[in-house]
Amino acid sequence: MRKTKTAAIVHACQSREQTIEAISELGAAQRELLRLNTEINDALAEATAMRQDKIDALKQRIEGLTEGIATWCAANRAALCPGGGKTANLVTGEVSWRQRPPSVSIRAADKVLDKLRALGLHRFIRTAETPNKEAMLAEPAAVAGIAGISIVTGVEDFTIAPFEVDIQEA
């Protein structure tokens, strides 16, 4: 069963009968949307399956060409980029080399943190402080009047759940 959740509104249908009819229409529209979504996904799956052999062959060809180009360019880099350049124009396209910026890779973060603490390297440890919203909800009077903090209460959501029968194949 799908539920539609919206903020409560003041204006509604004009009668019980109109409301009953609107809920029925809502359920029908939700089911039709689901049917269309399923139809689109089925068509995509079928189109992909019909072309999977070609897709796989093209991926292999691209991988082979890329490896071949990279191998030749690496062997001929000095000639392609005289003076230490990083880009070479080869008429049908360019090849280039770019140095990645330094990065840090950490495995076993708990052990790394322990070691940093033991060595007194606290400058490499982040301490994130964030407001404790749960504590504020428990004691709203304590934070009343503090700029930037507001306790939101009385918000009511309105939910419509059209009845549906879920038929399972046996």
Share of the chain above pLDDT 70, in %: 88
48-104 pLDDT per residue, tens:
999 999 999 999 999 999 999 999 999 999 999 998 889 999 989 999 998 889 889
How does pLDDT run across 2-21, given as a tens digit for each residue? 666 666 554 468 888 988 88
Give residue limits of the domains in the chain: 10-98
Question: If you write DSSP's letter for every residue of 105-169 in order, what string do you get?
Answer: --SSHHHHHHHHHHTT-GGGS-------HHHHHH-HHHHTT-TT--------EEEE------PPP
pLDDT at position 7: 63
